[in-house]
Structure 1
């Protein structure tokens, strides 16, 4: 047999350290579902039709679930998620968080535009920020409590990470469990804050920027809480080791990003942007 020939059935090996993924329908279904969800938001805003948004959202959630399920299964195959592949996954997560940072930059840009140039507020009788007639939250009330909750959750997720590195399964589960509970507490108090808000979403530029910035952050908290809850289940099943635990690392990075964004929101929106405080 010539040296260039390969016998039938002889296993071949890649000449590179990278993993070529198998064909998957989930990128296509995720893209189509995200487009449908965006279209559903427009239809809901203009015609009060809900079902299109609901179908798009369910499609996105289903695509994420099955896609992540396949990645977890793939990671359990020997030799597939080698060190080079894991570095690529880390780069991907870093770039994703960078894109999320720019997402929030847009909200801060809008807020600072009117904060620094209140004369640009349409219809305002006086060039002040917050606009006349807007009563704001007491920053030392629920906003400070939620800040303490998120800062504490950053400590507990770090505790869980160090416990994992020390192969302390009990500490890992306790730290992750507390972080999930703290994330749920933050969402509860934010919902209560919104219910008691002294202004409505349609009340002008200040409520619009406030609810968009803090609301999208709240959505990220919910996503991060689900992310960490899934990690807790995987940790309970023993799927993380001190050497291989990128899924948990990605969740921890995302959670720290959520913490930092909230600190900026708390300082900029609640403290620097405080006006006449509403009385409850």
Structure 2
């Protein structure tokens, strides 16, 4: 890769006039004057981070809705005969597996940065297995619950929150599988590994969101 190449400015907004007032670490992430080729990875990650921030707003809207409904319907939150989601050993193990995967996927990305492709593949595969384990565990948990999607507020809020998060976990696993398959293409990551970095960042986001959902749906019930 020629690190001296200057790319054409693709920004629709002329930001150069404000660029001189920004700190140096932020300048290289902004789409101003195209930047040097080695800066494009950082700019792409910055754009992906903005996307994740928009996703977090959706999750926050669901979370605040849940908290508001829970506080205003505390007396009749659980319909008669319904115990609600329980903080069982199974749920705890499932949560530990998911959160621990963040400590596996990050070393995987770091291994790729240092051209340790075999180590990357094994750690990446382990992360895929951990994410799949969580999804299967969530499906098993759903099948054993004593309430459904139409069972009052507890049912609708629980399945919407966990289902939307589960969809993100599934997306993360699909992205990881794609990156793993691409690692077997000769020279695929010689020009950069934005896809791996984005998938890693997305996975950290999924894990952080689950910390909040786990606290609301299970610890609040305990």
Question: Normalization by structure 2: what TM-score?
Answer: 0.79
Indicate if the aligned counterparts of 2:79 and 2:151 stay in contact, CA closer than 8 A: no
CA shift digits 1:79-118 (9 cap, x unpaired): x992343333122101110011011011101110022222
Query: How many residues are paired up?
Result: 195
Q: How does 1:16-165 map to 2 (within 5 A)?
A: 17-18=7-8, 82-118=37-73, 127-165=75-113
Contact 2:86 2:218 in 1 (8 A): yes
Mapped partners of 1:102, 1:133: distance in 2: 34
- Structure 2: distance between partners of 1:264 and 1:217: 11
Separation in structure 1 between the aligned mates of residue 108 and residue 39 of structure 2, nearest angstrom: 25
Provide the secondary structure at the position in 2 that maps to 1:136: coil
Larger Rg: 1
Q: CA deviation at 1:146?
A: 1.4
Structure with the larger RCO, 1 or 2 (CA within 8 Å, 6+ apart): 2
Could you tell me which runs of 5 or more consecutive residues in structure 1 were left unpaired when the two chains were aligned.
1-15, 21-79, 120-126, 275-280
| TM-score between both structures, scaled by the size of structure 1 | 0.64
Question: Is the contact between residue 173 and residue 236 of structure 1 (CA under 8 Å) also seen in structure 2?
Answer: no
| In 2, Cα distance between equivalents of 1:216 and 1:98 | 16
| 1:240 and 2:195 are equivalent in the alignment | no
Counterpart CA distance in 1 for 2:64 and 2:178 is 34
Q: Are the counterparts in 2 of residues 97 and 254 from structure 1 also a CA contact under 8 Å?
A: yes
Q: How does 1:253-272 map to 2 (within 5 A)?
A: 253-272=201-220
Instruction: Give the C-alpha shift of residue 244 in structure 1.
Output: 1.9
Paired residue for 1:215?
163
Contact 2:84 2:154 in 1 (8 A): no
State the superposition RMSD in angstroms: 2.5
* CA shift for structure 1 position 233: 1.0
Q: Which residue of 2 aligns with 1:249?
A: 197
TM-aligned CA distance change 1:117 to 1:174, over 3 Å:
same
Say whether the 8 Å CA contact 1:157–1:176 is kept in structure 2: yes
2-side partners of 1:84 and 1:98: how far apart? 21
Q: CA deviation at 1:129?
A: 4.0
Q: What residue number does 2:15 align with?
A: none
Do the aligned partners of 1:161 and 1:172 also contact (CA within 8 Å) in 2?
yes
Q: Aligned partners of 1:97, 1:162: CA distance in 2, in Å?
A: 21
